[in-house]
Amino acid sequence: MGGWVEGDPAGDRRFLDLPGPFPLERGGSLPGVRVAYETWGSLDPDADNAVLVEHALTGDSHVVGPAGPGHPTPGWWDGLIGPGRPLDTDRFFVVCANVLGGCQGTTGPSSDAPDDGRWGGRFPEVTVGDQVAVEVALADALGIDRWACVVGGSMGGMRALEWAVAMPDRVATLFFLASGAVASADQIGTQTTQQAAIRADPRWAGGDYDPADPPVDGLGVARRIAHLTYRSALELGERFGADVQDDDRFAVASYLDHHAAKLARRFDAGSYVVLTQAMNTWDVGRGRGGVAAALARVTARTRVAGVDSDRLYPLALQQQVVDGLGVPLRVISSPYGHDGFLIEVDAVGRLLRDLLEGNP
């Protein structure tokens, strides 16, 4: 129950230990950071073919590949990476790292602290900038001075944009998908409500809960709230309507129950709180003179895309980014809402392939 912990099968993960102290944007530091990551393809001798894929809130480094020991679910963006695919591993060296604060091998609340206990409620607040700083250290360790492309959707889009703004000389192309340049009040309100659901679980214990008895009820409620924002009202209506199952549950409630239980089996409640807080404080313009000034720093050839039925990251948020970058907005038509960026792999793949091939 919960995320990956030391002693579990490593699966396809590799690990990098970064020495500390590791300073954090909101104050304080971490004494060191372990990063879990996966790679596909081979790095060219001049290291100019590397692509960084950034995962979303409950994703991890396992972008593609089957479920198995160490990987409770198949790859979350299967179909995107491999020979002949948009991220062609005969051409590119693809990297994805579990994010700082996560629970799939990278240092987070469920990781061991220096005193041999779990970090738990002591884990400090981290920002998107901190998460990217860890990825910079990973890139340096892998010998990658400049990414051929940085790709990310949702929370991953935040890190992708942070890369292009903070280190423009290290990003050749950027694919920014179903995300925004700054957290909206709607997103913050939704995410703080999810956090409140977790903290209301009696087993939360201020974040210092028993790993054998985690606050799965609160995490499950948080996931139900989140999942409603990930899908569109149209899709839910057409799929479930007001149907009632043989067990007297509404069909849509049963669907949400399934996703709540599924997440609890593979994710840590402490990481959920830490990562949603990082999303709440996201603002690419903080300390840079505002969003427009920050976007003016981007030199990467950029493709920005959104999903027409996305109610969590509506097209207006991507429009703000394209207005700042002077590029067109590409719209993916999908009934699936925000999750369309994960489900519509063919449409996403076409846009990504065109970007990498230099097509307008």
Active site residue 254: no
The structure tokens 């099968």 sit at 9
- Please state, in angstroms and rounded to a whole number, the distance separating the CA atoms of residues 344 and 347: 6
Q: Which residues pair with 15 in a beta bridge?
A: 36
Active site residue 227: no
338: DSSP letter: G
Q: Are 285 and 182 in contact (CB under 8 A)?
A: yes
Which string of DSSP letters, residue by residue, matches 145-179? Answer: SSBSEEEEETHHHHHHHHHHHH-GGGBSEEEEES-
Q: Report the alpha-carbon angle 61-62-65, nearest 5.
A: 160
Active site residue 154: yes
Beta strands in 1-158 (DSSP E): 14-23, 29-40, 50-54, 93-97, 149-153
Q: How many Å is the Cα radius of gyration of the chain?
A: 20
Which string of DSSP letters, residue by residue, matches 57-85? Answer: TT--S--SS--BTTBSS--TTTTSBSTTS
> Can you read off the two tokens belonging to residue 215?
């606050």
Q: Residues in the chain, how many?
A: 360
Alpha-carbon distance values, 225 to 135, 218, 220 (Å):
30, 11, 9
Q: Are 77 and 178 in contact (CB under 8 A)?
A: no
CA 67 to centroid of chain Cα atoms:
19
Active-site option among 110, 154, 179, 309: 154
CA 211 to centroid of chain Cα atoms:
23
The residues assigned a catalytic role are 154, 310, 338
